[in-house]
Amino acid sequence: MIENKKKPNPIDIHVGSRIRLRRTMLGMSQEKLGESLGITFQQIQKYEKGTNRVGASRLQNISSILNVPVSFFFEDAPGESNAASPSGMAEAASSNYVVDFLSSSEGLQLNRAFVKIADPKVRRKLVDLVKALASESDGE
């Protein structure tokens, strides 16, 4: 049995997931991103799954369109050394939690609505409300 299917590289998968995260945070469709790059939405799907590797110049274009530095796509990448920080593992777990939250439909909706609130006092009260609701549900 000859197996020709190569598994995607973990870095390619990570970069793709970060492209998807940022694209969805902006409310941009795969079609719209593809149009901006002059490629099909299917190609965007392949990038986001890590099936196809994103070249350097294309990643630079994507970072410009999504308005983030190229380094955004490599934050918390697998194999990244956190040895300099004794809490490196905690930081990675913490940022994965944020990525998971922002990847969820509810998290994305909450984030989009929250950033539209201009008054810092209202945002603070909202955070206090969410904390109170969370501690209430812990007690049930």
Per-residue confidence in pLDDT tens, the chain, 140 aa: 555 567 888 999 999 999 998 998 888 999 999 999 999 999 999 999 999 999 999 999 999 999 999 999 998 888 755 444 444 455 455 456 666 777 777 887 888 888 888 898 998 999 899 889 988 877 65
Determine the pLDDT at residue 95.
55
Say if CB 33 and CB 58 are below 8 A apart: no
pLDDT at 77: 84
1-81 topology per CATH: 434 Repressor (Amino-terminal Domain) (1.10.260)
Q: How much is the pLDDT for 58?
A: 97
What is residue 72's DSSP assignment?
G
The pLDDT assigned to 71 comes to 92
Exposure string for 13-47, b = 16+ CB within 10 A, e = fewer = bbbbbbbbbbbbbeeeebeebbeeeeeeeebbebb
Look at residue 136 in the predicted model and tell me its pLDDT: 82
For residue 82, what pLDDT is reported? 47
